[in-house]
A and B are shown apart, each in its own frame.
Chain A
């Protein structure tokens, strides 16, 4: 009897801690527009010749997966798709990625600490309240132009 109670407590303990550990985002569609939709874009501030990043949500409301493989903008000398990654327990790094797949009927968030469009070598200051444009390129849906505001610190 005691062993059963002990086992039950340990199982419950494990379940509770397991739920607390993950931050996996379920694919979800909350945008009802048809096709490939970009929502809530914003830039980080950055100064001339330095760097910034563009973040947004991609809703793929189609039956086919699509691939984001490049980005273009007059705002910076180089524009690339990047991701931030974890290294070890408490280290972070950032690297260029060739493409990002957005599965059919799903949402993917480009957000701080994850995927972002990296603007390297800004051609002007980007201050909070400023706006700018970036074109992102998808394999199936072609070019999509994003207009976004600079926010945050």
Chain B
């Protein structure tokens, strides 16, 4: 009988492992530049807002657009719930050599992104490298394509990531960017709003 009790305890324990917000890590400040070429200090400039941060590169046609589309879906859900004003969205590029502010601006424009509370950021290669390291996001150049005009285009193997930061700028949770559960992150955002 004791064994059955332990099995039930084990199953209950597994269910209990799914904490809503398992992290509480302070993040250093990073000087970034957004799609309008305005300097921003992340996360300092956005404190008091909850941050939804996606990691992308604009030459990515498949996974990063999924992440971007999911951030758009989160934004739409927050609008429905009337809590969008509590949240700031940030897409941070891990390809600073290519993703200049004008490229990020065009990326947002052709997708008709609502930039009222969404910024797309890049930075110096060394800043981006440190930022990625702190978020434990890996981005490694992999396959290369040679275009007819002799230009080279490379792709990244990269971590599939959306991160949630609280109003103090602390990292609270990571999600798979291309497969994120919209309801899950919406619930987590509500929890942060209510905890304030």
Interface set of A (CB-CB < 8 Å, partner B) = 2-3, 5-6, 9-10, 13, 44-47, 50-53, 77-78, 80, 82, 84, 87, 90-96, 112-113, 116, 118-121, 125-128, 152-153
A45 and B110 form a contact (CB under 8 A): yes
CA distance A6 to B11 in the complex (A): 13
- Which of B28-36, B40-48, B60-68, B82-90 is near enough to bind chain A? B60-68
Contacts of B143 in A (CB 8 A): 93-96
Nearest first, the 10 A-B pairs at minimum CB distance are A93-B157, A153-B69, A53-B61, A51-B61, A153-B111, A47-B106, A47-B110, A92-B63, A92-B160, A45-B110
Q: List 18 A-B contacts (CB under 8 A).
A: A44-B65, A45-B110, A51-B60, A78-B147, A82-B61, A82-B62, A91-B158, A92-B158, A92-B160, A94-B62, A94-B155, A112-B65, A112-B178, A119-B61, A120-B147, A128-B112, A153-B65, A153-B69
B110 and A127 form a contact (CB under 8 A): yes
A46 and B61 form a contact (CB under 8 A): yes
Contacts of A5 in B (CB 8 A): 4
- B116 is an interface residue with CB less than 8 A from chain A: no
Q: Give the size category of B's interface with A.
A: 35 or more
CA distance A87 to B63 in the complex (A): 13
B159 and A78 form a contact (CB under 8 A): no
Contacts of B3 in A (CB 8 A): 2-3, 6
One of A2, A78, A90, A93 near B4 (C-beta < 8 A): A2
CA distance A34 to B68 in the complex (A): 38
Interface set of B (CB-CB < 8 Å, partner A) = 1, 3-4, 7, 11, 58-63, 65-66, 68-69, 72, 103, 106-107, 109-113, 138, 142-143, 145, 147-149, 151, 153, 155-161, 176, 178-179
Residue on B nearest A13 in the bound complex, by CB: B11
Residue on B nearest A126 in the bound complex, by CB: B110
Supplied contacts A51-B61, A94-B62, A113-B178, 17 more A-B pairs, CB within 8 Å? A3-B3, A5-B4, A13-B11, A91-B158, A92-B158, A92-B160, A93-B143, A94-B61, A94-B63, A94-B155, A95-B142, A112-B178, A113-B179, A120-B145, A125-B110, A152-B65, A153-B69
Chain B facing A: main interface SS: mixed
Contacts of B4 in A (CB 8 A): 2, 5-6, 9
Residue on A nearest B7 in the bound complex, by CB: A9
One of B7, B110, B113, B157 near A92 (C-beta < 8 A): B157
